[in-house]
Amino acid sequence: MKKMFSIILVIIFAIVVFCFFDWIIIPRMKAQQQKQFLIIADNVQANPFKKRLIEHIAQEIAQKNAKIEVKISDLATLSLPQLSARVSPAQAPTVELKVKEWADQINAAHAIIFVIPNYHRGYPAIFKNAIDLIWEPWHTKPVMMIGYSLSNEDGINFIQSFNDVLVTIKTEQIKPLIYMPNIAQESTLNPEMQLAVTCEINQLIDSSNQSNYFKKMKNAITTHLLRIILKFINRKQ
C-alpha cells in the first residue's frame, strides 16, 4: 500500500512539474522571445502593388506582435548563384559563401512569407533556385504563400506546383495558400484580400509559437520526468 501511495505521489509531482513548465514557464519564454519573420519576394521596388502588399503584411505582423521583426529578402538583389551541383544540397550542402549566408537567413527566421507572381501558370525560376540551393534550413519552417497575377490567369496549377515544393522541403504550410488574380500595378488591397492576409498571418504567428526549440524542451522535460518515475518504480520493486 505504501509503495503504491509513493508511486502515485511521484506521478502527481511529475504532472505538476510538467504543467508548470507547459503552462507558465514556456509561455513566458515565448512571450519574451524576439522573433524574425522573413518575406521573400523579387523586384519589390519595381511593382507598386507588390510593395504595398509587403508593407501591409509587415504592418499586420507589427500590430499582432510588436516583438516580431520583419525582414524582406529581395531575390532580385541577392544575386544568389545558380544551382549547378551534381548532387542535391540534401546530400551535399553547398559551400559557397552566398549560399551559406542565404541558409543563415532562413535559419534565423521563425516563419517565412513568399510573395510570388504567377507567370504562365507557374512561379519564376528565381524562387525555385533560391529554394533548391539549401535543404535542411527549410525543415519544419512555418511558411505562408501569397501568389498574384497581373492578368486573370488561373492560379490552380501555380498554387499546387508551389505547394508540392513546400511539402517536399518539409515546411509547415499555412493553408489555404492565397492567390490574387487580375492585379494591376496600381491596385490596392481590397477588404477581402486584407481579411485573407490577416487570417493567414494569425495562423503563421500561432504556428511560429510552436517552434522546434520549445517542442524539444517539452519533449526533454517529459522524457526526464518519465525516467524519474520509472527509476522510482524500479527501486520500490
Top pLDDT among 113 and 67 is at: 113
C-alpha of 157 from chain center = 23
CA-to-CA dists, residue 36 to 20, 39, 162, 204, 205, angstroms: 27, 10, 23, 12, 11
The secondary structure element, H or E, covering residue 163 is helix 156-168
What one-character DSSP code corresponds to residue 25?
I
In sequence order, what are the residues at sequence separation of 6 or more whose Cβ sits closer than 8 angstroms to the Cβ of residue 81? 96, 98, 99, 133
Rounded CA gap, 228 and 48, in Å?
A: 60
The secondary structure element, H or E, covering residue 233 is helix 212-236
- pLDDT tier at 3, thresholds 50, 70, 90: low
What one-character DSSP code corresponds to residue 42?
S
Residue type, 29: M
pLDDT tens, residue by residue, 172-212: 988 888 998 888 766 778 888 888 999 999 999 888 876 55
Residue pointed to by grid coordinates 513548465: 21
- Name the grid cell of 119: 507567370
What is the largest distance, in Å, between two alpha-carbon atoms of the chain?
78
Lowest mean pLDDT among 10-19, 35-44, 120-129, 195-204: 10-19
Average pLDDT, the chain: 83
- Name the grid cell of 8: 502515485
Torsions phi, psi of 231, nearest 5?
A: -65, -40
What's the helix, strand, coil split of the chain in %, to 5? 55, 15, 30
What one-character DSSP code corresponds to residue 41?
E
Per-residue confidence (pLDDT) for residue 20, from 0 to 100: 66
CA-to-CA dists, residue 234 to 14, 17, 228, 230, angstroms: 16, 21, 10, 6
Per-residue confidence (pLDDT) for residue 165, from 0 to 100: 94
In sequence order, what are the residues at sequence separation of 6 or more whose Cβ sits closer than 8 angstroms to the Cβ of residue 16? none
- pLDDT tier at 135, thresholds 50, 70, 90: very high
Which span out of 26-35, 104-113, 176-185, 203-212 was modeled with the highest average pLDDT? 104-113
Rounded CA gap, 64 and 125, in Å?
A: 33
Q: Is domain 35-209 in CATH 3.40.50.360, yes or no?
A: yes
